[in-house]
Chain A
Amino acid sequence: MAAVVKVDKLAQSVVKGPSLMTGGYPTKPWMEVPAVFKPGNYAYPTKPEKLEYLNRQQGVSFPNAREWNPEDDDWKLPENWKEIILQGLKDRLDRFRSLKIFMDCCVRCGACADKCHFFLGTGDPKNMPVLRAELLRSVYRNDFTLAGKILGKLAGGREMTVGVLKEWFMYAYQCTECRRCSVFCPYGIDTAEITMMLRELLHMVGIGINWAMEPVSNSNRTGNHMGLTPQAFKGNVEFLCDDIENLTGIRVNPTFNRKGAEILFITPSADVFAEPGIFTCMGYLLLFEAIGLDYTWSTYASEGGNFGLFTSNEMMKKLNGKMYAEAKRLGVKWILGGECGHMWRVVHQYMDTMNGPADFLEVPKSPLTGTVFENAKSTKMVHISEFTADLIKNGKIKLDKTRNSHVIPTFHDSCNPARAMGLLDEPRYILDNVVEKWYEMPENTIREKTFCCGSGTALNTDEIMELRMRSGLPRANAVKYVHEKHGVNTLGCVCAIDRATLTTLMDYWVPGVQVAGLSELVGNALVIDGEQRQDLTEGLRTLV
């Protein structure tokens, strides 16, 4: 008879019996476990000159610029830092009803706990959304609720200390504001907004990361993350036009800052600058040429991305405002937006109360099909996938699926288009029409439940590569499944951060899978009158 081993007893002996394993076991209550910063687990702080520049700009405030190092005990905080933070929290509780509700209504049911890709990749309890929010909520209770003021720790309150502040910095930057947890919250608490508040409060005492703030300052100065001047931006797009001509024989001549164009096109600047986004951009250019769209690029609103969303309300508003200011200046009727992630969250969730409604623009109407985009009635901005799907549905473009025969895709729902604007079916409809066969990842990893790339909200920087790889594991794991089961070799998506970071993620977890924007696949399949397309075995990526 086989021995009956008492698993529980033996598992306990991990702690009691001899063990080579060290660390890992939760031995203290979470409030007593300090955040420890070491190379690889934090993103580099903002350079003082970037903050000083931004602090000089109208409508935004980024005080207390200085050199500081997360690994040092002394973060060189302003003397009255605690007063600043608590006053900042008070102001925000008064201004944002949602924050007050989110602070009060959580019943700690735990539905969100195991839904966060950071928790799933690290096993760190403070990455459970409920506990991440508790980092702020405990301070709220202590200082802003009667129970907390009287009972303190007994009521789940805790005093704001430097240790708490450090914990905020650690975990506000181990959240990509992807909002997957919110899908599962029975109260609809938007944990992303709690992270946003934490980051805002930290900025008040000069704590932030350079990978967010340098693109923000570049965007504010030249209109895009890269800091490209108008000439350089235009030059880059024209390089892509040369490539298109070499590949297809079609000469595309886009216009820039053209007043009186019907449509203003705005996309993430990474699309005109870095692989693999440039192939997506070539797809846009070819599509617009094929249908003879009356549109213009802007070299000032030359960025769809808005890292202000990851920074502060005011900064988000300012960067979003430039797109609409440019639309007004150029006198266009409406705005067509490229494959960006968080730009769409800003437009759909915040635009109306920040800069909107954009009454000076017209309700978007496709000049080709006559379709009125009622969903964009207020923001006047249409997603390229909506626009393209409508063209296909109305038979306005000719597509040859065999031109994508080298591609077996799956589709990654980028967090913001999926969860913040409900763009779920249009990309799938496009895929149905541009490739012969594609495969869905498992049900609990797509659509509203999609897993984040793990590098959003300005966490796509190389110094936290391990963090990015572990938080991206749930996404990669699902890709690996369809890669092995169906031979999927391409991860389609509609977000520039995805295109950059999923490429790295795939290299580590699922080699053999490339990342492509959907417009690239559209561009591959597009049949255009008068073209002299070479044998493009890898579509627009083919080297000729």
Chain B
Amino acid sequence: MALYAELARMLADRQKQILAVWIARTLQSYNSSDFFINSQDRFANPVGMLVRDGLTRVFELLRTEAEAEAFVQPLDQVIRIRAVQEFAASQAVVPFLELKWVVREVLNEDPPANPPTGELHHFDCAVDRVALTAFDLYCQCREQLYRTRIREVKSGRARFTDSGCPSRLADAGTGGGASEKS
């Protein structure tokens, strides 16, 4: 059963405005935001376009009260990027929480739309769930990075450094790689 049917209609009416503000705010968390916001080429501007597409899909899923699993892919698309940029965990997931503020701002614009009592609370709760899912995904991305680092270290590729010379290591008593210290 829909928990915020009336609100959903209002969100549909003002979807364009909400998304414009939400996407702009999110992309403004980057130092050079103009390019990320303005360039519309998905290959020339991957961060801007992946975030734009991800947030758009998340909003549509929220509006239609979709099942939790449906959110994972679009959330991952946004969070996977923010997980490798220099954001704190809180900064990485904050755009999703900010949607609550954006929705209120746009609904309050003239003429104000007044959703039925209680519906906004349900919507806020759905947004919070989205943010928590995003946080889980953020953690998964970080764990994946650490596992990747370990895999590289263990693989032959990483033996450029730190292990000394493999051939010398096999030769007991030379102290592995120490030959350069003479």
CB contact under 8 A between A21 and B91, given known A114-B45, A120-B47, A465-B148:
yes
Which of the 9-residue segments B64-72, B108-116, B118-126 touches chain A? B108-116
- Check if A98 is an interface residue, CB within 8 A of chain B: no
Q: Is the CB of A20 within 8 A of B149?
A: no
Q: Is the CB of B160 within 8 A of A19?
A: no
Q: Is the CB of A5 within 8 A of B25?
A: no
Q: In chain A between 106 and 120, which residues have their CB closer than 8 angstroms to a CB of chain B?
A: 113-114, 119-120
Q: Is the CB of B28 within 8 A of A229?
A: no
Q: Is the CB of A227 within 8 A of B31?
A: no
Q: Is the CB of B165 within 8 A of A227?
A: yes
CB contact under 8 A between A500 and B145, given known A7-B17, A123-B47, A444-B44:
no
Cα–Cα, bound, A120→B85 (Å) = 11
Q: Is the CB of A481 within 8 A of B156?
A: no
- Check if A328 is an interface residue, CB within 8 A of chain B: no
Q: Is the CB of B156 within 8 A of A273?
A: yes
Neighbouring B residues of A122 by C-beta, 8 Å = 30, 85-86
Neighbouring B residues of A120 by C-beta, 8 Å = 44-47
- Measured CB to CB, the closest approach of chain A to B172, in angstroms, equals 15
Q: Is the CB of A49 within 8 A of B94?
A: no
Cα–Cα, bound, A121→B28 (Å) = 14
Neighbouring B residues of A481 by C-beta, 8 Å = 42-43
Q: Is the CB of B32 within 8 A of A123?
A: yes
- Check if A58 is an interface residue, CB within 8 A of chain B: no
Neighbouring A residues of B170 by C-beta, 8 Å = 232
Q: Is the CB of B101 within 8 A of A18?
A: yes
Q: Is the CB of A508 within 8 A of B144?
A: yes
- Measured CB to CB, the closest approach of chain B to A468, in angstroms, equals 9
Cα–Cα, bound, A18→B98 (Å) = 10
Q: Name the residue of chain B whose CB is nearest to the CB of A232.
A: B167
Cα–Cα, bound, A13→B181 (Å) = 60
Contact of A473 among B25, B81, B113 (CB under 8 A): B81
CB contact under 8 A between A227 and B166, given known A122-B85, A125-B32:
yes
* Contact pattern, A 213-257, Cβ under 8 Å of B = 1, otherwise 0: 011011001100111110110000000000000000000000000
Contact of A3 among B33, B47, B113 (CB under 8 A): B113
Which of the 9-residue segments A23-31, A339-347, A382-390 touches chain B? A23-31
Cα–Cα, bound, A217→B182 (Å) = 14
Number of interface residues of A (CB under 8 A): 76
- Check if B61 is an interface residue, CB within 8 A of chain A: no
Neighbouring B residues of A211 by C-beta, 8 Å = 160-161
- Measured CB to CB, the closest approach of chain B to A219, in angstroms, equals 10
- Measured CB to CB, the closest approach of chain B to A491, in angstroms, equals 16
Q: Is the CB of A470 within 8 A of B81?
A: yes
Cα–Cα, bound, A465→B84 (Å) = 8
- Check if A101 is an interface residue, CB within 8 A of chain B: no
Q: Is the CB of B111 within 8 A of A3?
A: yes
CB contact under 8 A between A275 and B43, given known A232-B166, A504-B148:
no
Contact of B152 among A442, A467, A504 (CB under 8 A): A504
Cα–Cα, bound, A217→B168 (Å) = 15
Cα–Cα, bound, A226→B177 (Å) = 11
Q: Is the CB of B43 within 8 A of A21?
A: no
Q: Is the CB of B84 within 8 A of A226?
A: no
Neighbouring A residues of B86 by C-beta, 8 Å = 41, 122, 466
Q: In chain A between 418 and 472, which residues have their CB closer than 8 angstroms to a CB of chain B?
A: 442, 444-445, 460-463, 465-467, 469-470
Which chain A residues have a beta carbon within 8 Å of chain B's beta carbons?
1-5, 7, 10-11, 13-14, 17-26, 41, 49-50, 52-53, 113-114, 119-125, 128, 210-211, 214-215, 217-218, 221-222, 225-229, 231-232, 270, 273-275, 442, 444-445, 460-463, 465-467, 469-470, 473-474, 477-478, 481, 500, 504, 507-509
Could you list some 25 contacts between A and B, CB below 8 A? Answer: A5-B106, A7-B17, A11-B24, A14-B28, A19-B101, A21-B29, A21-B91, A24-B29, A50-B180, A113-B35, A114-B39, A122-B85, A123-B33, A225-B160, A226-B160, A227-B165, A228-B166, A228-B167, A444-B44, A465-B84, A465-B152, A466-B86, A470-B84, A478-B43, A504-B148
Chain A to chain B: the 9 pairs with minimum beta-carbon distance, closest first: A123-B30, A274-B156, A227-B165, A229-B167, A5-B17, A477-B46, A232-B167, A469-B84, A53-B180
